[in-house]
Copies of this chain bind each other. A is one copy, B any other.
Amino acid sequence: MKTVILLFQCADQKGIVAKISDFIFKNGGNIVTADQFSTDPEGGHFFLRIEFYIDEREHTVAALEAGLKPIAGGFKADARLFVKDTPLRMGILVSKADHCLVDLLYLWRSGEIKVDIPFVISNHSDNKALAEQYGIPFHLIKATAGDKKERDILALAKEKSDFLVLARYMQILSGSFIVEYGKPLINIHHSFLPSFKGADPYQQAFDRGVKVIGATAHFVTESLDDGPIITQMVESVSHKDTVNDLVRKGKNLEKHALAQAVRHYIDYRIFKYQNKTIVF
């Protein structure tokens, strides 16, 4: 048995589910779970995720893909098939703060996040020992004022990773980096976006006197801190909390939000659409 995930999106129109579920049925597939969403049932955009398993002795993924093609063509749809449990390669970028990295590595080792981790890249050497302790190659790529060394990062990342996680990486990646990498980047921002963009969000939150703080995991786009939001976590604070308390409470939110976003991503649960996400 092999579990396959179909992600399908197109302009909303009649008969999509009928066509696709018939196709899966005829290929011997047994649907495990299906989710669909339309931004507007009259003239909106339609999203479908179906998880199904097939007996691979009788039906191959290649055959599925070939059969799916004309259906997708008929609906002018973007259709993709993924084999579950084929681990994606998750590259990690990190700076000095280690809490998100520690959490990701722990979840990876304990089997909760099923990925391969081809490398940890950092602009500081602080987390070298940690990465190596888990047997992950660590690359120190120091940005300087004049040269962010994005080409060095790209050289590694493009070939060896399927997506990147910025686990508190404190360098801003350029638009051209994002375009050239061409695959998703997930960032954790230590505020409840869109509040407190930019630097030192906990200090900003402290100064504004908010009563709830948050953390936001989002896809990286060229527009800093404005990419599609995947997950947000919040916690109450009070006048008693110092900036340090916000940082401490925030660390927990950050690692929790980031891990959940990664889990959704590698389970192929996320569609990006118009700077938002649909998370099934």
- Residues of chain A whose beta carbon lies under 8 Å from any beta carbon of chain B: 14-15, 17-18, 21-22, 24-25, 28-38, 41-42, 53, 98-99, 102, 106, 110, 112, 133, 192-196, 208-212, 214, 228-232, 234, 238-240, 248, 252, 256, 275-279
Contacts and interface: CB of A to CB of B under 8 A. Distances in A.
Given A34-B36, A133-B133, A210-B232, 4 more contacts: A18-B25, A192-B192, A192-B212, A208-B275
Contacts of A208: 193-194, 229, 275-276
Number of copies of this kind of chain in the complex = 4
12 contacts: A14-B30, A18-B18, A22-B22, A31-B36, A33-B36, A37-B239, A37-B240, A192-B212, A193-B210, A194-B195, A209-B276, A239-B277
A72 to B, nearest CB: 17
A209 B195 CA distance: 13
A210 B41 CA distance: 22
B30 A22 contact: no
A30 to B, nearest CB: 5
A193 B192 CA distance: 10
Nearest to A23: B18
A133 to B, nearest CB: 7
A277 B209 contact: yes
A229 B211 contact: yes
A147 to B, nearest CB: 31
Contacts of A230: 211
A189 to B, nearest CB: 12
Contacts of A232: 210-212
